[in-house]
Amino acid sequence: MAIYVVLGIAWIAFSDRLLDALVPDAELQRTLQTAKGIAFVVLTAALLFLLIRGSERGLRALSAEVRATLDSIADGVMLVDAEGRIVEANRAMIQLLGATSKDEVTGPISEWSERWKLRSVDGAAVPNERLASMRVLAGEPNPRYDAILQRADGVDVFVSVSSAPVERPYGRRLAVTVLRDVSPARRLDDAREEFLASAAHEFKTPLAVIKAYAQLMARREPEEAHPLAVIQRQVDRLALLVQHLLDASRLRLDPADGRQERFDLASLGREVVEQLRHATTKHDLRVAAGAAVPVQGDRDRIGRVIATLLENGIRFSPAGGPVDVRIESDGVEAIVSVTDRGLGIPRDRQERVFERYYRAHAGMPDDPGGLGVGLDVSRAIIQRHGGRMWFESVLGEGSTFHFTLPMVAEARA
């Protein structure tokens, strides 16, 4: 191209002078000049044609490569333009939806989500402006969510949707949206959660029978009150473990599960401590709670979180001693802290304390047992209520677990 430009300029600048010098005859000069002009135009046209064809072939090859790359991606990929139209979709997208041609999966995205019955995991339709592609077009950098689609054959598919912007040098931005089929993993999850839920259910009925018979006997034989109280206490302990398993599975199954009510965290804390006081003879359970601390959420579950922290405090201080529950507030947040003077958690194991099934004391000589689900579930419950959970612990000195909950205005509580 550069050579063409140099030669072209040189030709225009010097060819006439050259002609003047070489051909003296004016008539012949004019004829030659016309021929020269025609030759220049023809040559230029031919050159331009070759150039354009070359770059077009390159473009076509590039486009075929991009197409092949898109089609070789195992996840469904689609390109959405600024008007919210799906302009491109790869082969995996067509297969994911069980469609027969690309035409079925392109077009306005609002029609697309209607056609394939796009729903969020809880079954509610996803409004147009909440679609990942539309959020990207509105300026959000990288939205993602899980959803359900209905394939052409009527089967539901669980997909994980994510989208990212494609900035273009000319024209408005596009959104590239990826749909990953997570159905197999999801089905396995569902089966496992369902199993866990029924297992927990099956455990609780016999517990109910044992506890009720123990209570019946305690009424009839007051002199046997102590052993029967032990049976009840152990049943309660088993029931709490079962409840943790249920919570662990239910929290994932029904994200919207749980009741919203206003309650006083301070009196809930006192209540839980009273309920657990009979669970130990070696420990001194103390509550420091002042004025009412109004919060909002699932009172039963928050109660179980406090019970879990207290039970842990008791369990992880086998030598006995005080376990303190402190409930305070800074007017914006309520803070609950549970402190024991027990075993403490080794520093190198602290990072994993909130992992499900992880037990920081596993394999240690003073391992007091447990399932490793209490803290994971508790933290999930607190996070779902908009709070945080953390702890401090020193090996051999004990641990303090804290959680916060947002407070609600007292006037409305």
Name the residues that contact other proteins, by CB under 8 A: 197, 200-201, 203-205, 207-213, 215-216, 219, 235-236, 239, 243, 246-247, 250, 257-259, 300
Nearer of residues 102 and 262 to other proteins, judged by Cβ: 262
Nearer of residues 236 and 271 to other proteins, judged by Cβ: 236
What is d(CA 374, CA 357) in angstroms, rounded to the nearest whole number? 9
8 A C-beta contact, residue 95 and residue 153 = no
Nearer of residues 179 and 242 to other proteins, judged by Cβ: 242
How far is C-alpha 145 from the chain's CA centre? 7
Residue 213 Cβ, how far from other proteins at the closest point, in Å? Answer: 6
Angle between helices 299-315 and 265-277 (to 10 degrees): 50
Which backbone phi and psi does 393 adopt, to 5 degrees? -155, 140
Nearer of residues 91 and 262 to other proteins, judged by Cβ: 262
What is d(CA 329, CA 133) in angstroms, rounded to the nearest whole number? 42
Nearer of residues 163 and 308 to other proteins, judged by Cβ: 308
Nearer of residues 10 and 216 to other proteins, judged by Cβ: 216
What is d(CA 62, CA 49) in angstroms, rounded to the nearest whole number? 20
Residue 235 Cβ, how far from other proteins at the closest point, in Å? Answer: 6
What is the three-state SS of the chain?
Answer: CHHHHHHHHHHHHHHHHHHHHHCCCHHHHHHHHHHHHHHHHHHHHHHHHHHHHHHHHHHHHHHHHHHHHHHHCCCEEEEECCCCEEEEECHHHHHHCCCCCHHHHCEEHHHHHHHCCCEECCCCECCHHHCHHHHHHCCCCCCEEEEEEECCCCCEEEEEEEEEEECCCCCCCEEEEEEEECHHHHHHHHHHHHHHHHHHHHHHHHHHHHHHHHHHHHHHCHHHHHHHHHHHHHHHHHHHHHHHHHHHHHHHHCCCCCCCEEEEHHHHHHHHHHHHHCCCCCEEEEEEECCCCEEEECHHHHHHHHHHHHHHHHHCCCCCEEEEEEEEECCCEEEEEEEECCCCCCHHHHHHCCCCCCCCCCCCCCCCCCCCCHHHHHHHHHHHCCCCEEEEEECCCEEEEEEEEEECCHHHC
Nearer of residues 197 and 292 to other proteins, judged by Cβ: 197
Per DSSP, the three-state class of 216 is: helix
Nearer of residues 140 and 236 to other proteins, judged by Cβ: 236
Nearer of residues 243 and 308 to other proteins, judged by Cβ: 243
8 A C-beta contact, residue 302 and residue 385 = yes
Nearer of residues 199 and 408 to other proteins, judged by Cβ: 199
Nearer of residues 207 and 395 to other proteins, judged by Cβ: 207
Residue 370 Cβ, how far from other proteins at the closest point, in Å? Answer: 19
Residue 218 Cβ, how far from other proteins at the closest point, in Å? Answer: 9
Residue 206 Cβ, how far from other proteins at the closest point, in Å? Answer: 8
Tokens matching residue 334: 């309520």
Residue 389 Cβ, how far from other proteins at the closest point, in Å? Answer: 20
Residue 233 Cβ, how far from other proteins at the closest point, in Å? Answer: 12
Residue 375 Cβ, how far from other proteins at the closest point, in Å? Answer: 18
Residue 260 Cβ, how far from other proteins at the closest point, in Å? Answer: 12
Residue 207 Cβ, how far from other proteins at the closest point, in Å? Answer: 5
Residue 245 Cβ, how far from other proteins at the closest point, in Å? Answer: 9
